[in-house]
Amino acid sequence: MQKTKWLAGIAMGFTLLASSAMAGHDFKVVYIGKNTGNPYFDSITGGFQDACKKIGCQFEFVAPATAEATSQIPFIEAQIQRGVNVIAIAPNSPDAMNQVLDKARAKGILVLSVNGDLVGNEGHRDANILPVDFTKTGPNQVELMGSLIGYKGEIAILSATTEAPDQNTWIAAMKKTLAENPKYKDMKLVATVYGDDQPEKSTTEMEALLSNYPNLVGVIAPTTVGIAAAAQVVKSRGIASKVHVTGLGLPSEMRDFVKDGTVTAFQLWSPYNEGWLASYFADGVLNGTIKNTVGTKFEVPSLGSITIMEKNVMNTQAELTSFDKSNIDKFNF
Amino acid sequence: MTDHVGVIHKNAVMDSAPPRPLWSVILVRPETMTFLLLILAIFAGGQLSPYFLDVGYILDSFTLTAELSLLALVLTLVIISGEIDLSPASNMALSACLFAYALSFGWPLWIAVLVGMGSGMIMGAINAFLIISLQLPSIIVTIGTLTLFRGLAQVIAGDKSIRLPEWYIGIDKIYVLGLPAPDMIFIIVSSVLALILGMTIWGRQIYQTGTNETSAQYAGIRTRRIKAILFISMGLTASLAAMIYVSRLGSVRYDLGIGGELQMVLMAMLGGTYIFGGRGTILGTFLAALLLSVISTGMTTANLLPATQLCVLGVLLIISIIVTNFIYSRTQR
């Protein structure tokens, strides 16, 4: 018992030391991505890097080889051991990391979920940074699809993995929008398939969609890997005028498809701004200039005023950005 | 040793090679290589990152692979007996789902434990029936049951995760004699199995079964019964590992421990178990499990890319196979 008290005392002493050392801008941030080899995360990482250069913090990016539910746990453990001040993470599972994230928070580490949230387990992170209000993603995508196909015909969804929390939220919202809004009553969702965010599997699934549903007029791929694969299939078959591909894509990967007419329009946000906002938010919270409570407003350079909303969620922009021939050259990520 | 005995001895082994000196018998063993690699890995980990050399951290990190290590111990016995079992990771996932469901229904712990262990045993018995009664090759059978058990887990649990009740979570936070409970369980099971394999008649019979099954049968060893017991123990251990795993994670999904079979085989091989049976020790697998944990923890703590980690593991496996084969062909034939 005596020993436990001693240890607790020492631990508290260290915590005090750590927090006093934190009052500065030279803190350590790590961003744990879903998996390596995903260009989307390069853009978020870019935001972190540039912001940290301005602020003075030290940034590192790590990610496991595969995006399965438990693969990020050893990385979180390692970061706790390394003594980072901020762990930002794009969670691979809404609940498998609860215990280890709690451990990090108990050590005084600020835990932010960036570009995805612990849906239903929000109490296990301090705040969440999302590019847009994700409840609008589903309806926005359905509207874009509708405008491409004249609000009529059979459509399908090509998603990431079956358990990807973001994609599943959006797909649920798409289904709800299609079912409830009379504007879309002539659009019929015939299939939802999963390409696991792998180019090859996504291509195979897209080919299968086209053979199984000859009347298909549109495919929504709410994932950057899926939309690129789907566009490639449509392009090589030369059926761009019949099957419209849209979804969420990276301007850098989709530029050629837009210019040659394979894809008319697609949507996304700026992943770069997520890293940027996360860094400034962390800096503010660690130095006491931003209070991490619902309703707080603060200014972030080049983003303007940001409000902490319910469940400590922040968005970098209000609506999805649509990319087409007219504006795609202005974006470089 | 008198001259008289020496003369007889000399005459008796006239045509064969001279007996190996004691130091060679003790030191030229695959386990020695594993041990040296372990020392090297700890040293290298310390060089790679200043945060690595922390006994508490290394012991805590071992809990991340304790379940698979536990399975690797029993798998070592299965491999020594001349068979292989690739299904334990899937068995673990299915047992975990059933166990978690039983608890989430509010059933008492002992019934949930019975459900979990019962299902694990039944799965082991299915393997035993197919391999021993129907005389099918174990590698094919267990690849089949690997897929089947995982599939059943997905059918039962779907894409959702099953939460464990709060009181059941956190076995890795319990310390027994300064060691996290999963580590302690691993050490106890290792000791028991090492005693059985090294000290009992039953242990000798496992070696004989794997060395030459036909001659073992002529010698009156009931090889079929031995193998059946081993496969059923494998199933039982998988369910035990499942209960530890879910307590550590706090939730279960069908993809629990996916791909774990390869890690288990890797541990057995790194520890000097001979893939064609008849040779291997629990000490070897014990050291190899520590080695793998130290290597991956060391590299993750140093923020090395997962690609680098995979390369290192691949090279290690190949080195271990070359060394094992070399030692066995030179010294023990």
Encoded amino acid at A301, one letter: P
Write down the pLDDT at residue B2. Answer: 44
Show residues of chain B in contact with A64, CB under 8 Å.
306
Sorted by where each starts, the structural domains of chain B and their CATH numbers stand as 29-330 (1.10.3470)
Contacts for A242 with CB less than 8 Å, ≥ 6 apart = A217
CB B263 within 8 A of CB B296: no
B309 has pLDDT over 90:
no
Query: A–B: how many Cβ contacts below 8 A?
Result: 71
Write down the pLDDT at residue A8. Answer: 52
- Taking all residues of chain A, what is their mean pLDDT, rounded to a whole number? 89
A2 has pLDDT over 90:
no
CB A92 within 8 A of CB A71: yes
Write down the pLDDT at residue A284. Answer: 95
Q: What is the DSSP string of A64-111?
A: -SS--TTTTHHHHHHHHHHT-SEEEE--SSSSTTHHHHHHHHHTT-EE
Write down the pLDDT at residue B1. Answer: 41
Write down the pLDDT at residue A312. Answer: 93
B84 has pLDDT over 90:
yes
A1 has pLDDT over 70:
no
Write down the pLDDT at residue B15. Answer: 60
Nearest CA in chain A to B299: A78
Interface check B251 vs A, CB under 8 A? yes
Q: What is the mean pLDDT of residues B188-216?
A: 95
Q: What is the mean pLDDT of residues A165-184?
A: 92
The band of A10, judged by pLDDT with boundaries at 50, 70 and 90, is low
Q: Rounded to two decimals, what is the model's pTM?
A: 0.81
Interface check B275 vs A, CB under 8 A? no
The band of A178, judged by pLDDT with boundaries at 50, 70 and 90, is very high
Residue of A64, A78, A95 lying closest to B306 (CB–CB): A64
Nearest CA in chain B to A66: B306
B83 has pLDDT over 70:
yes
Residue of A65, A83, A98 lying closest to B250 (CB–CB): A98
Nearest CA distance, B298 vs chain A (angstrom): 9
Write down the pLDDT at residue B68. Answer: 96
Rounded-to-integer distance, Cα B251 and Cα B242, Å: 11
This model of the complex carries an ipTM of: 0.84
B154 has pLDDT over 90:
yes
B202 has pLDDT over 80:
yes
B19 has pLDDT over 60:
yes
A23 has pLDDT over 60:
no
The band of B307, judged by pLDDT with boundaries at 50, 70 and 90, is confident
Q: What is the mean pLDDT of residues A172-189?
A: 94
Q: What is the mean pLDDT of residues B142-170?
A: 92
Token digits for A55?
């602020």
**What is the per-residue pLDDT across B85-140, written as a single tens digit (0 to 9) for each?**
999 999 999 999 999 999 999 899 999 999 999 999 999 999 999 999 999 999 99
Nearest CA distance, A82 vs chain B (angstrom): 6
Q: Say how many Å lie between the first and final Cα of chain A, rounded.
A: 56
Interface check B55 vs A, CB under 8 A? no
